[in-house]
């Protein structure tokens, strides 16, 4: 693919691609399993505006950059080039195809850093742009997917595509001793995180397709698993309870109507074949859908089957918000792709600690930061790299 580089030489474009790729990575935990992507609109060799894909299901980098260019003082007819780290999408996903947005903006040349790794889409976006008369230049080596979005390469790898399962984000809060429940006299014996961390949980819930928890958490905490302030969404995540023997109480708060400004997805309870029919009916009457899943050692639900069921129900990005029993089984089963671990300045605690698992865990692209009084660590897990 050719382009006459009127205004910028290859070296300058390469370093722009590299810097866009680096900045795009800042959003890796917000967008995964989607790729990290950065884009810039140029006019006469000058960057008019930049944009990044910054939220799962949110607008793509090209669209954000074009919108930012619209808000700039440089009029549209002077935009000559769009630089983007990954081939623009050409099909309708959660958002309309970027190729259409680029053509609608009247961009005459596009510089792309990497081709789409998916064989079904690879090169298609570029061919559509060329067919519409746009000059396209593929400038590989500066924003390689291996560097910018290794998680996306795994997500689109043959083996994962052949046996699909959702992207799982495990989020948990721990005390300084690594325990998931605080001492009885702290946070009503339930809450570990600061207000700021709890607010982030709401943002995370608003950006997943489903939330999964175990019946132990329902019995101990009676959570709602809804999306509420400061976040909001018109499509709240579906709620799944892993409950082999239908111990979930029909009067659990999960079944209550969400309050003002709060939204909750449908509740599904997964149980083992042979569960009590009376409890089943009571839970259905309370508003749940109850489904059977195969068992593991006739004890617990088989997590691989749970994952498959979630996938078949259309859930791609799933949040695991659960206690130590189910969390450990998910982690040790290699079914978690990404973790968000909140450590609060609380001494002691109750219940099992996952410190042993953490010590052995091979974390990829970790990020440590503060949130209120808590320390937050986010990372991808190397089992999937
Ligand atoms: N700090 C945090 O982030 C956090 C988050 C949530 C909960 N918690 C705390 O965790 C405590 C509850 O812990 P928990 O370990 O009992 O709760 P849990 O992990 O949420 O639930 C465990 C239960 O899930 C069911 N389950 C179904 N399939 C399973 C599978 N394949 N593997 C494992 N479990 C499966 C089992 O009950 P059945 O055999 O009956 O199905 C099991 O006893 C509470 O004190 C709560 O406050 C802390």
Domain containing 150 — which CATH number?
A: 3.40.140.10
> Which protein residue has the closest C-alpha to ligand 1 atom 4?
323
pLDDT band of 384, cuts 50, 70, 90: low
Give the per-residue pLDDT at 336: 97
Q: Is residue 4 assigned to a domain?
A: no
Pick the catalytic residue from 30, 62, 200, 321: 62
Q: Are residues 34 and 97 in the same domain?
A: yes
Asked if residue 227 is part of any domain, the answer here is yes
Mean pLDDT computed over 317-329: 97
User: What average pLDDT does the segment 78-98 reach?
Assistant: 90
Q: Are residues 240 and 357 in the same domain?
A: yes
Of ligand 1's listed atoms, the one at least distance from the Cα of 245 is 40
Torsion, CA 97, CA 49, CA 200, CA 34, rounded to 10: 30
Segment 354-360 mean pLDDT: 92
In a domain, 1, yes or no: no
Mean pLDDT of the chain: 94
Residue 91: the pLDDT is 83
Domain shared by 133 and 238, yes or no: no
| Structural domain includes residue 5 | no
Residue with token string 């897990």: 381
Tell me, what's the pLDDT at 382? 81
Closest by CA to 339, choosing from 164, 172, 225, 152, is 172
Tell me, yes or no, whether 149 and 252 share the same domain: no
Q: Considering only CA atoms, which residue is closest to atom 3 of ligand 1?
A: 172
Spacing, Cα 226 to ligand 1 middle (Å): 18
pLDDT single digits (tens) 151-184: 999 999 999 999 999 999 999 999 999 999 999 9
Percentage of the chain exceeding pLDDT 70: 97
Q: Does residue 111 share a domain with residue 79?
A: yes
Answer yes or no: are the C-beta atoms of 297 and 317 closer than 8 Å. Answer: no
- 135, 194: one domain: no
Instruction: Give domain status of residue 2, yes or no.
Output: no
**Catalytic (active site) residue 62:** yes
Q: Is residue 92 predicted with pLDDT exceeding 70?
A: yes
Q: Does 114 lie in the same domain as 35?
A: yes
For the CA atoms of 260, 266, 267, 269, the dihedral, rounded to the nearest 10 degrees, stands at: 180
Together in a domain, 115 and 207: no
Q: Domain of 332: which CATH number?
A: 3.40.430.10
pLDDT above 90 as % of the chain = 89
Residue 224 CA to ligand 1 center (angstroms) comes to 15
pLDDT (mean) for 99-103: 95
Q: What is the pLDDT of residue 385?
A: 56
How does pLDDT run across 215-266, given as a tens digit for each residue? 999 999 999 999 999 999 999 999 999 999 999 999 999 999 999 999 999 9
* Consecutive H or E run containing 296: strand 295-296
**Are 259 and 141 in a shared domain?**
no
Residues 215, 178, single domain; the answer is yes
Please identify, among 119, 139, 158, the residue that sits at the C-terminal boundary of a domain. Answer: 158
Residue 4 has pLDDT above 70, yes or no: no
Q: Report the range of poorest mean pLDDT among 22-31, 138-147, 182-191.
A: 182-191
81: Cβ–Cβ under 8 A, 6 or more apart, which residues? 7, 8, 41, 42, 107, 108, 109, 110, 111
- Full residue range of the structural domain in which residue 297 is found: 164-384
pLDDT (0 to 100) of residue 6: 47
pLDDT computed for residue 8 by the predictor: 64
Buried/exposed code over 239-248 (b: 16+ C-beta within 10 A; e: otherwise): bbbbbbebbb
Residue 148 to residue 239: CA distance in whole angstroms: 32
Q: What is the pLDDT of residue 94?
A: 74
The domain boundary residue, chosen from 158, 181, 210: 158
* pLDDT over 60 (residue 2): no
Pocket-forming residues, ligand 1, beta carbon under 6 Å: 172-173, 180-181, 190, 192, 213-217, 220-221, 242-245, 247, 300-301, 303, 321-327, 329, 351
Within a domain: 3: no
**What's the average model confidence in pLDDT over 122-139?**
95
Residue 77: the pLDDT is 95
Distance set, CA 269 to CA 70, 127, 247, 250 (Å): 47, 46, 10, 11
Task: Dump pLDDT digits (tens) for 40-64.
Answer: 999 999 999 999 999 999 999 999 9
Asked if the model's pLDDT at residue 311 lies above 90, the reply is yes
- Confirm whether 151 is domain-assigned: yes
Q: What are the residues facing 342 on neighbouring strands?
A: 173, 376
Q: Which of 130, 158, 186 is the last residue of a domain?
A: 158
Number of domains within the chain: 2
Please report whether residue 169 resides in a domain.
Answer: yes
CA 69 to centroid of ligand 1, rounded, Å: 48
Determine the residue of 204, 309, 321, 322 to mutate for testing ligand 1's pocket, defined as the one with the most ligand atoms within 8 A of the Cβ atom. Answer: 322
């Amino acid at each position: 693919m050719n382009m006459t580089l009127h205004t910028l030489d290859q070296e300058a474009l390469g370093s722009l691609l590299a810097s866009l790729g680096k900045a795009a990575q800042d959003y890796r935990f917000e967008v995964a399993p989607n790729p990290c992507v950065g884009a810039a609109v140029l006019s006469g060799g000058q960057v008019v505006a930049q944009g990044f894909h910054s939220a799962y299901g949110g607008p793509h980098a090209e669209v954000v950059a074009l919108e930012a260019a619209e808000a700039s003082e440089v009029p549209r007819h002077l935009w000559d080039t769009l630089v983007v780290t990954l081939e623009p999408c050409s099909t309708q996903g959660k958002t309309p195809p970027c190729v259409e947005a680029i053509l609608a903006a009247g961009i005459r040349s596009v510089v792309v850093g990497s081709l789409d790794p998916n064989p079904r889409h690879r090169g298609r976006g570029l061919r559509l742009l060329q067919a519409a008369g746009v000059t396209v230049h593929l400038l590989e080596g500066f924003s390689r997917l291996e560097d910018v979005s290794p998680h996306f390469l795994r997500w689109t790898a043959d083996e994962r595509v052949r046996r699909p399962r959702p992207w799982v984000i495990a989020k948990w809060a721990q005390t300084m001793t690594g325990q998931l429940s605080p001492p009885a006299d702290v946070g009503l014996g339930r809450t570990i995180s600061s207000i700021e961390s709890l607010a982030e949980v709401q943002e995370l819930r608003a950006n997943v397709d489903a939330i999964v928890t175990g019946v132990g958490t329902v019995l101990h905490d009676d959570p709602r698993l809804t999306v509420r302030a400061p976040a909001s969404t018109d499509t709240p995540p579906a709620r799944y309870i892993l409950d082999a023997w239908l111990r979930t109480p029909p009067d659990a708060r999960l079944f209550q109507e969400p309050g003002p400004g709060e939204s909750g997805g449908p509740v599904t309870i997964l149980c083992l074949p042979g569960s009590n029919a009376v409890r089943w009916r009571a839970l259905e009457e309370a508003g749940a859908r109850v489904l059977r899943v195969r068992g593991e050692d006739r004890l617990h639900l088989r997590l691989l089957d749970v994952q498959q069921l979630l996938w078949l129900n259309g859930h791609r990005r799933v949040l695991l918000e659960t206690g130590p029993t189910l969390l450990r089984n998910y982690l040790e089963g290699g079914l978690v792709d990404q973790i968000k671990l909140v450590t609060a300045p609380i001494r002691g605690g109750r219940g099992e600690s996952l410190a042993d698992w953490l010590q052995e865990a091979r974390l990829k692209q970790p990020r440590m930061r503060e949130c209120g009084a808590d320390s937050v660590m986010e990372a991808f897990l190397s089992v999937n790299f």
